[in-house]
Amino acid sequence: MNSQISPDQVWISEHNKAPAIQDAFDRSRPVRFYDTTLRDGEQSVGVCFNPQDKFEIAQQLSALGVGRIESGFPRVSEDDTKAVKRILGAGLKPEIWGFARCVQADIDAHIELGTEYLLIEISTSEAKMAAYGFTREKVLERVVGAVKHARDNGIKKVNFFAVDATRSDLAFLKRVYLAAIEAGADEIAVVDTIGACAPEAVEWLVREIKHTVGAVPIHWHGHNDFGLATAAAIAAVRGGAEWIQGTVNGMGERAGNADICEVALALSCLYNVPVELDLSRAREASKVVQRCGGYSVDGWKPVVGEYLYTRESGAVASQFHSPQAIEPYSADIVRAERKIVLGKKSGLDSIRLKSEELGLGVPEEKVAELLALVKAKATAAERLVSDEEFRALAAGTV
């Protein structure tokens, strides 16, 4: 559980406390996270993790506190097989889960490697079934056969993952879940494969499925095609989901998956829901995944963006001494550095704060002159003014 967040580190709207908003959540247990960065995250176009990358990311995920790591899909390539094998043998704290289709060869590949926990998937929507040439009867047959095969051959725990669940006929979806459970599945996942379900509908659907499957743990897996993956994950928790599946940085197919760190932050700070994730490790995990994936996230991205606690605006710099006036939660929660940078939008207080930071001792009567020089330089160069450049400008005005 993330015990590092205290109420005096969070400065949110009092309206969040309304019973209609808060009362629907089950706070008797923490929400846990199943990370699929190594599998679904790698489906981001142009991303290719090698075995060493995957091992480094798995170590970061373990430090982050995820409950489960999806190690990958060994039948994709020899490199993926090596990566899964190394992660399984690393003795990491999270459970290491495998991914398989309802195909015996997929399951056997994990059994041979010693995978003990397995997520098994098949499509359940009419559109997806038609695309694959499946009938409802064939889907049910494959689900039952795959789950039984896994359990009969040493897999300790199975999660049945209904692809495109949110666009599936509800009666058929319930039938498939119950068939999977009867065959030996321990958990089920409600899956918004193409991000097509509104948060309100997510809550309703998860609650419907929970009523059907009873005490069987429910996972939520959602995509971000409408920019609502975090909201949908929170709605799923309201509906009764115990696990949220997602990725670091929200990586994944098309618009990506739910970002597990964003979901954890929102649940903790806005809804007072306990989570099992250490947000103080989020930025480091993000950096490692970006480096291994060969990409960069936007500087303004929630939780991990480079500039979340960097202030250029002069109006905001004037409030810099009061974090709660300009930020919704403390930088300490995510181990970020608060700092002032100088540019076209800087103000007099920006100059004062930067001068103090660098120990320059700029006289008050020179502050306005120095601000004018900073603005002119930043505007001409169309970028920020570096600390070294500011020192040079200050030397010319003192």
Report the CATH number that the domain containing residue 269 is assigned in CATH.
Answer: 3.20.20.70
To the nearest 5 percent, what fractions of the chain are helix, strand and coil?
50, 15, 35
Could you give the number of structural domains in the chain?
2
Same domain for 211 and 88, yes or no, is yes
Which residue in this structure is represented by tokens 């379900």? Answer: 197
Same domain for 69 and 116, yes or no, is yes
Please tell me the pTM assigned to this model: 0.95
Same domain for 35 and 168, yes or no, is yes
75 domain-assigned: yes
Write out the residue range of the structural domain in which residue 250 sits. 7-293
Look at residues 260, 293, 326 and tell me which one is the last residue of a structural domain: 293
Residue 75's pLDDT is 81
299 domain-assigned: no
pLDDT (mean) for 370-387: 96
Query: Terminus-to-terminus CA distance in the chain, angstroms?
Result: 52
Residue 72's pLDDT is 87
Same domain for 206 and 141, yes or no, is yes
Same domain for 241 and 349, yes or no, is no
298 domain-assigned: no
60 neighbors 281 (Cβ within 8 angstroms)? yes
Same domain for 286 and 356, yes or no, is no
Helix count (H) and strand count (E) of the chain? Answer: 16, 10
pLDDT (mean) for 63-73: 96
Look at residues 266, 293, 320 and tell me which one is the last residue of a structural domain: 293
Amino acid at 113: L
Same domain for 314 and 273, yes or no, is no
Would you place residue 121 in the very low, low, confident or very high pLDDT band (cuts 50, 70, 90)?
A: very high
Residue 76's pLDDT is 79
What confidence tens digit (pLDDT) does each residue in 169-217 have?
999 999 999 999 999 999 999 999 999 999 999 999 999 999 999 999 9
What confidence tens digit (pLDDT) does each residue in 243-267 have?
999 999 999 999 999 999 999 999 9
301 domain-assigned: no
Same domain for 243 and 389, yes or no, is no
Query: CA 173 to CA 128: how far, in whole Å?
Result: 13
Same domain for 241 and 120, yes or no, is yes
Same domain for 121 and 262, yes or no, is yes
pLDDT (mean) for 21-25: 94
Residue 398's pLDDT is 60
pLDDT (mean) for 18-25: 94
Whole-number percent of the chain with pLDDT over 90: 95
Residue 1's pLDDT is 40
Same domain for 262 and 377, yes or no, is no
Q: How many CB atoms lie within 10 A of CB 174?
A: 16
Same domain for 200 and 129, yes or no, is yes
